[in-house]
Amino acid sequence: MWSIIATWSFSLQCVEKGETILKSGGRALDAAEMGVRLVESDPAVDCVGRGGYLNADGELALDAAVMCGDTLKTGAVACVRGFEHPVSIARAVMEKTKHSILVGPYAEAFARQIGFAEAPPEYMITETARRKYEEEKRRRGKPSGHDTIGCLALDDAGSLCVATSTCGSNLRLPGRVGDTPIIGSGFYVQSGVGGAAATGLGEDIMRTCCSFRAVDLMRGGMSAQEAADTVVFTAHNTLRQCGLKPDCIALIVIDARGNCAGASNHKGFVYACARPGESPRIVSVDPVIDKDEQED
Ligand code: ASP
């Protein structure tokens, strides 16, 4: 039985799109990719695709990935400029090459070569994004403002797939890559077992390999909710034990039957989900970390 879940409230449109594909018998990979494409095109979403935060050089460089849980094949791109749909380039990396990740100008050349239309900076970089960049630069604050769309979809044939996309944080160092295109950290799926996708500070999520851990815990018998809670709680505490101040870490998880869950170490995390008999809705997540232990 199909099911779909995605990070943050802006992903409601992604889940609604995915639902229409899945309930008419479509494939999980199409549902996740098509849903994420909508968010990539939405200039009002400031952390994904068009209208996203700029790096320290004032460029919009995007990261995205897809993974097929039947084959464990994955495709990802990092620091791609001038294309509206990095998630589709990531899918092409998975389907048309023997590789997993292409980066920067090489990923852009690949996209051009296989016929993706280029999107000029005047289209990709909105006035709002440029204004936020100038304001942050004046404040000379630490890079701030970041989120990711991660979408996990299960189709009626039992295939689990994931698609992710982000621009990373405002004023990030050019060339910086977070967890979003990194298998095992930002995403992981295995059909028959489960899937996970992360959002939050990529450096912390990569240090703790959150997504693979969640899937492995479900393989060992945990429910989606237990796996999500355990991974976020352990990641947070591991970082603290190592002397770090954990930033935001949030995870969405789906099991092989389509049960969905979310976990976070900070307040305010929400996800969107849908399955047969349950129309697309937003679910709020209570933090797994006590209030006085949450970082500001
Ligand atoms: N994980 C993303 C990154 O570090 C950002 C986020 O999801 O908040 O690039």
CB 147 less than 6 A from any atom of ligand 1? yes
C-alpha 158 – ligand 1 centre gap (Å): 29
pLDDT at position 145 = 75
What is the position in ligand 1's atom list of the atom closest to the CA of 202? 4
pLDDT at position 277 = 96
pLDDT at position 84 = 98
The residue contributing the CA closest to ligand 1 atom 1 is 202
pLDDT at position 294 = 62
The residue contributing the CA closest to ligand 1 atom 6 is 147
Q: With a cut of 70, list the residues of the chain below it in pLDDT.
A: 141-144, 291-296
pLDDT at position 142 = 63
CB 201 less than 6 A from any atom of ligand 1? yes
Identified catalytic residue from 7, 148, 164, 180? 148
Residue 228 CA to residue 274 CA, distance in Å, equals: 18
Residue 197 CA to residue 181 CA, distance in Å, equals: 11
Alpha helices in the chain (DSSP H): 12-23, 28-41, 86-96, 104-113, 121-124, 127-139, 202-208, 210-219, 224-241
List, for residues 116-169, the tens digit of each pLDDT value.
Answer: 999 999 999 999 999 999 998 888 766 667 899 999 999 999 999 999 999 998
pTM of the model: 0.96
pLDDT at position 225 = 98
CB 168 less than 6 A from any atom of ligand 1? yes
Q: Which domains does the chain have, with CATH numbers?
A: 3-295 (3.60.20.30)
Residue 226: Cβ within 10 Å count = 16
**Residue 272, Cβ density class (10 Å: 0-12 exposed, 13-18 middle, ≥19 buried):** buried
CB 164 less than 6 A from any atom of ligand 1? no
CB 258 less than 6 A from any atom of ligand 1? no
CB 7 less than 6 A from any atom of ligand 1? no
CB 204 less than 6 A from any atom of ligand 1? no
Query: What type of residue is 18?
Result: G
C-alpha 200 – ligand 1 centre gap (Å): 5
Residue 270: Cβ within 10 Å count = 17
Structure tokens at 271: 């996800």
What is the position in ligand 1's atom list of the atom closest to the CA of 248? 8
> What count of Cα atoms within 13 Å lies in the side-chain half-sphere of residue 10?
20
Residue matched to tokens 């060992």: 220
Nearest to 38 by CA among 54, 62, 15: 15
The residue contributing the CA closest to ligand 1 atom 8 is 147
- Can you count the helices (H) and strands (E) in the chain? 9, 12
pLDDT at position 296 = 53
C-alpha 201 – ligand 1 centre gap (Å): 5
Is 148 a residue of the active site? yes
Residue matched to tokens 């977070």: 178
C-alpha 26 – ligand 1 centre gap (Å): 29
